[in-house]
Structure 1
Amino acid sequence: MTPEQLTGQIQDHIEYIADNIGLHKQVVQPWQAMQQAAMDDGFNLQIVSGFRSYDRQLGIFNAKFEGQRPVLDINNQPVDMQNLATEEQIHAILLYSALPGASRHHWGTDIDVFDPDLLAGKKLQLEPWEYDTGGPMAPLNQWLENNCHQFDFYRPYQSFQGGIAPEPWHLSYRPLAESFERQLDINVLTQCLRRKPTVASNIVAKLLPSILTRYVKITG
């Protein structure tokens, strides 16, 4: 992977399998195999979000920092950003939204999944309770726990490790993602952020080592 691919600045490593749903070209086949296996077991396994560009992630990050999008805490309650120092605001955002350039979605190896047939007409919120016992996605959650590893997928954010909040819907294709984790380093990310900086870019730059450790390089 080139630095531009790793950081979502270009997407020539991506194949689109549906409108706005892109995967790394080497992930398409294992994804389709897992999707078929889920179908055989009665699940309509679908992708909510696949590849996400740097610009898209930048828009999300900046909008949350500037108060245009809500920021939630670990209990899914709104955060009062005005009462936080800048560094605390950044970490509050990173709980659910990756730093532009450091999102695993840039790689095309990571996807958010659900089963629309389990929603009974309700809107998906992508919140942990939906995948917990009693939630609409609980049966799919159990299926993923039992089967996703057979197709070389795993869940890097299955439990809280001090960085990203639990995301049971987030799958990562291990054979590629582990390699890309190693390739994404401070130098690659710094050069990317210099081209298109985030808000509070001077504080973000100081936090890069901890951001990589806490929010990206967490292979389980």
Structure 2
Amino acid sequence: MNLTAANWLGDDDSHIVWLSERHGLTQETLDAWRSMQHHAAECGLSLDLVSSYRSFDRQLAIWNAKFNGLRPVLDDQNQHLDIGSLSELERAIAILRFSALPGASRHHWGTDLDVYSKRLQGDIPFDLVASEYGSGGPQADVSSWLRQHACQYGFMAPYSADLDGVAIEPWHLSYCEIAQHIAREISVTILAERLNQSKISGKQTLLDNLPMLFERFVLRVNQ
């Protein structure tokens, strides 16, 4: 699959097949997801999507809300940070631990999805944090099953270990065949141009530090 810059930046969703109003994936990723979901069901485990495709504008709204203190930003211990006490660069790095930069999110690609089990969660509030997928957490069985079986369907876990970039995300899967190709095509120069055109909060700080942020929070993944 050949994606244009507008595709991987999240501005053009012509590569996406929509499952519902909320969820979309590339056709190849969707086929793999449905096959894996069916296998899990045969094993007695229901798998559901938390998120899939996300546009540039949607990611921008998340970013700006967090950067401006309108949406919580957590530290590595899941405690709320006082965003207002941080410099713009510190603020950006704190956000990037858990939320992607608009234009640089793997969710723009249609190859990446966040997975949980609605049935296992039940009435317990769901925060999409790593502890929910750890031992004793409501999503522990999902995490264990995905570690054993996701690779059979062409998925990898890009954030299965903390490489001092994006924090560990046991729920995040990426369809390797397409995602690895896109990862070789993305460009920090094109991303900078797109961010410069946008109304992103902290724009100048982001542009001044983009090569470092791009390497740490975009390119640095588990293979």
2:75 is matched with which residue: 73, 76, 101? Answer: 73
Aligned residue for 1:139, secondary structure, equals helix
In structure 1, give the amino acid aligned to 2:162: F
Counterpart in the other structure of 1:190: 192
CA distance, structure 1, for counterparts of residue 136 and residue 175 of structure 2: 27
Work out whether residues 102 and 216 of structure 1, in 8 Å CA contact, stay in contact via their aligned partners in 2: yes
Work out whether residues 178 and 219 of structure 1, in 8 Å CA contact, stay in contact via their aligned partners in 2: no
2:180 is matched with which residue: 137, 159, 178? Answer: 178
Q: CA RMSD in A?
A: 1.0
Q: Using the TM superposition, name which of 23-32 and 127-136 deviates more.
A: 23-32
Q: Using the TM superposition, name which of 197-206 and 93-102 deviates more.
A: 197-206
Q: CA deviation at 1:158?
A: 1.2
CA distance, structure 1, for counterparts of residue 105 and residue 88 of structure 2: 20
CA distance, structure 2, for counterparts of residue 51 and residue 168 of structure 1: 18
In structure 2, give the amino acid aligned to 1:185: S
Work out whether residues 8 and 182 of structure 2, in 8 Å CA contact, stay in contact via their aligned partners in 1: yes
1:199 matched to 2:211? The reply is no
2:127 is matched with which residue: 125, 128, 135? Answer: 125
Counterpart in the other structure of 1:31: 33
Work out whether residues 59 and 101 of structure 2, in 8 Å CA contact, stay in contact via their aligned partners in 1: yes
Q: Using the TM superposition, name which of 22-31 and 191-200 deviates more.
A: 191-200
Counterpart in the other structure of 1:59: 61
Counterpart in the other structure of 2:88: 86
Question: TM-score w.r.t. structure 1 length?
Answer: 0.97
Number of residue pairs matched by the alignment: 220
Aligned residue for 2:170, secondary structure, equals coil
Q: CA deviation at 1:219?
A: 4.1
Q: CA deviation at 1:153?
A: 0.4
1:43-79 CA-partner distances (Å, limit 9, x unpaired): 1111110000000000000111111001100111111
1:160 is matched with which residue: 137, 159, 162? Answer: 162
CA distance, structure 2, for counterparts of residue 92 and residue 160 of structure 1: 14
In structure 1, give the amino acid aligned to 2:13: Q
In structure 2, give the amino acid aligned to 1:38: A
What pairs with 1:109-148 in structure 2 (closer than 5 Å)?
Answer: 109-148=111-150
CA distance, structure 1, for counterparts of residue 195 and residue 9 of structure 2: 9
In structure 2, give the amino acid aligned to 1:75: Q
Return structure 1 stretches of 4+ with deviation > 6 angstroms. none
Q: CA deviation at 1:213?
A: 1.3
Q: Using the TM superposition, name which of 118-127 and 139-148 deviates more.
A: 118-127
Q: CA deviation at 1:194?
A: 2.4
CA distance, structure 2, for counterparts of residue 195 and residue 39 of structure 1: 45
What pairs with 1:202-217 in structure 2 (closer than 5 Å)?
Answer: 202-217=204-219
Runs of 5+ in structure 2 lacking a partner?
none
Q: CA deviation at 1:197?
A: 3.7
